Chains A and B, each alone.
Chain A
Amino acid sequence: MDTRKYLRIESVDMTFDTRKGPFVALTGIDLTIKKGEFVSLIGHSGCGKSTLLNLVAGLIVPTGGGIILAEREIAGPGPDRGVVFQNHSLLPWLSCFGNVHLAVERVFGAAESKAKLKERTEAALKMVGLAHAIDKMPQELSGGMKQRVGIARALVIEPKVLLLDEPFGALDALTRATLQDELIRIVAATGATVLMVTHDVDEAVLLSDRVVMMTNGPAATIGEVLEVDLPRPRERLALAANPRYIHLRGRVLEFLYQKQLKVAA
């Protein structure tokens, strides 16, 4: 298998049928992601970046083109992709353990012993720093902690690719920074392949190997792709004054606010 072409999005079009007739959300999307790469999708709201993520997740089916993950075409949702939803989507009647265990049981339940499943669940919660809150219910947790459980639930099934849909969008700036640092650490430790939707320029540049910038919808497509050649591990504080970082950040800002300025938002 060619790990340089791990996830291939090939000339994907997405048209929705609405009451007012067909709505072209995405057109001619081509993107190839390497194994272990971290790619961000950024663009103004309504540019179809979440649609693209949902296509990779298999929650919707493209009207044209195809998506291939590890040599197999994506035909629907499946546990080979871990999804972290923007609003955490934890089941409120299950504890942190229960929420993560649901995923573990689904993926490893047939092959492994109960003790091993429990061990995997606990390890995942420990990895996101929630060992102390394992038996808490979601409503007892802060927004950041809920999102950590969401990340644990997505990663514990050892997915081929991790899909993050504006994972920190609902959090305050300080919590967001902490979780970004956690995510850098977790991704480095697991070597996960990541596709993340964001509208935060700093987040995109800080976390990604490549930033995919999308044009405004309707009929959105990929405008530019920016290679983020900053060495890892990346340090938030050190980068703040790094001229290369400032330059890259400026490139994204320029794309969003000059080339794709949204008129009368």
Chain B
Amino acid sequence: MSSIAIRKRDVLAVVAEPRRSSASHPAAPALTASAERAASRVPAVPVFAKRRAPAPEWMREVVAYAFGLALFVIIWAMVAGMGGRIPGPGAVWSAAVNIFADPFYQKGPNDQGIGWNVLSSLQRVGIGFGLAALVGIPLGFIIGRFKFLSDMAAPIIALLRPVSPLAWLPIGLLLFKAANPAAIYVIFICSLWPMIINTAVGVRQVPQDYLNVARVLKLSEWKVFTKILFPAVLPYMITGVRLSIGVAWLVIVAAEMLTGGVGIGFWVWDEWNNLKVEHIIIAIFTIGCVGLLLEQALVLLARRFSYS
């Protein structure tokens, strides 16, 4: 807590006197002769000790990140060094160099490069999520706009939302009689709820003032939608999209473990059967990186559409 407070103050100091702090750097340790003379002539003026310029915020952040990651790798190496089957960072690194040297090889349906596996997982997420957006966003608008429909939908959503998406997998297999559409279907279901809920909340949160403007001008429903509802709801919708993508990326790994085929989840399971533990760890990092990239892309998108 206190360290955060100190950091904040330092940041303020940097913002408040950027020129002085950079200029004071070389003259920091001792008072110059002229300054001393000036001080003796006007004794009432206090002479402040010059402070060292604090490092810029981003630099300290980078250092903190590096320390965090280094600590993580050290603990990992220690755990691996205690024996057992966990490979250390070195072994994983050399395996990773090997794997990423040729990420797009194809040797039959069950032996493909990690690039293909990630791409097929992303494709499933893309299709399932896209369908969920097509259904969920309009549904969210309707539910948000009409109280009765919202009350109608409330118990269904409340009941189905906490269900693990994987519980829907057998229904998907039953409906589609194939593994791939069933996995997409699971993604669809799990992406649906955050988008419906966030869009509906967004519609309900549109300030009454904006709607009064529409009422006073008697704008057509279409104008109300395009000029007021849609832009006002957009930030909420993007939040829904972000949550959906996050959940979908979590769920696809588990779904693919169950359905098989090509995909990063299946790859994890396959490497487990081959007992190539370093590959599993590589897959974990890859899944993490892709998830992070998806998240960051949507954060950028959200920033693009925020008005304040």
Map CB proximity to B onto A122-163 as digits: 1 under 8 Å, 0 otherwise: 000000000000000101000000000000000001000000
Cβ–Cβ contact B216 & A106, under 8 A? no
CB distance from A230 to the nearest CB of B (A): 31
CB distance from B238 to the nearest CB of A (A): 14
Map CB proximity to B onto A1-12 as digits: 1 under 8 Å, 0 otherwise: 000000000000
Count chain B residues whose beta carbon lies closer than 8 angstroms to a beta carbon of A.
17
CB distance from A37 to the nearest CB of B (A): 21
Map CB proximity to A onto B97-119 as digits: 1 under 8 Å, 0 otherwise: 00000000000000000000000
CB distance from B234 to the nearest CB of A (A): 8
Q: Residue B65 at the A interface, CB < 8 A?
A: no
Cβ–Cβ contact B216 & A57, under 8 A? yes
Cβ–Cβ contact B216 & A81, under 8 A? yes
Cβ–Cβ contact A92 & B308, under 8 A? yes
Q: Using CB atoms, name the residue of chain B closest to A57.
A: B216
A106→B307 CA distance, assembly (Å): 24
A139→B308 CA distance, assembly (Å): 7
Q: Residue B243 at the A interface, CB < 8 A?
A: no
A107→B219 CA distance, assembly (Å): 9
Cβ–Cβ contact B209 & A85, under 8 A? yes
Cβ contacts under 8 Å, B40 to chain A: none
Cβ contacts under 8 Å, A77 to chain B: 215-216, 218
B residues 158-215 touching A (CB-CB < 8 Å): 207, 209-210, 212-213, 215
Cβ–Cβ contact A91 & B216, under 8 A? no
Q: A93 with B217: in contact, given A85-B209, A102-B227, A106-B223 (CB under 8 Å)?
A: no
Q: Residue A219 at the B interface, CB < 8 A?
A: no
Cβ–Cβ contact B217 & A79, under 8 A? yes
Residue from B217, B232, B308 in contact with A102 in the complex, judged by beta carbons closer than 8 Å? B217
Q: A92 with B218: in contact, given A59-B212, A85-B212 (CB under 8 Å)?
A: no
Q: Residue B53 at the A interface, CB < 8 A?
A: no
Q: Residue B228 at the A interface, CB < 8 A?
A: yes
Most chain-A CB neighbours within 10 Å: which of B207, B212, B216, B219? B216
Cβ contacts under 8 Å, B217 to chain A: 79, 102-103, 106-107, 157
Q: Residue A213 at the B interface, CB < 8 A?
A: no
Q: Residue B231 at the A interface, CB < 8 A?
A: yes
A106→B219 CA distance, assembly (Å): 7
Residue from B215, B218, B227, B308 in contact with A91 in the complex, judged by beta carbons closer than 8 Å? B227
CB distance from B172 to the nearest CB of A (A): 39
Q: Using CB atoms, name the residue of chain B closest to A86.
A: B209
Q: Residue A78 at the B interface, CB < 8 A?
A: yes
Residue from B213, B232, B308 in contact with A89 in the complex, judged by beta carbons closer than 8 Å? B213
- Give B contacts to A, CB under 8 Å: 207, 209-210, 212-213, 215-219, 223, 227-228, 231-232, 307-308
Q: Which 3 A-B pairs have the closest CB atoms?
A: A89-B209, A92-B307, A93-B231
List 22 contacting pairs A-B, 8 Å CB cutoff, sorted by A.
A58-B216, A59-B212, A59-B215, A76-B218, A78-B216, A79-B217, A82-B216, A83-B212, A85-B212, A85-B213, A87-B209, A89-B207, A89-B209, A91-B227, A91-B228, A92-B308, A93-B231, A102-B219, A102-B223, A102-B227, A106-B223, A157-B217
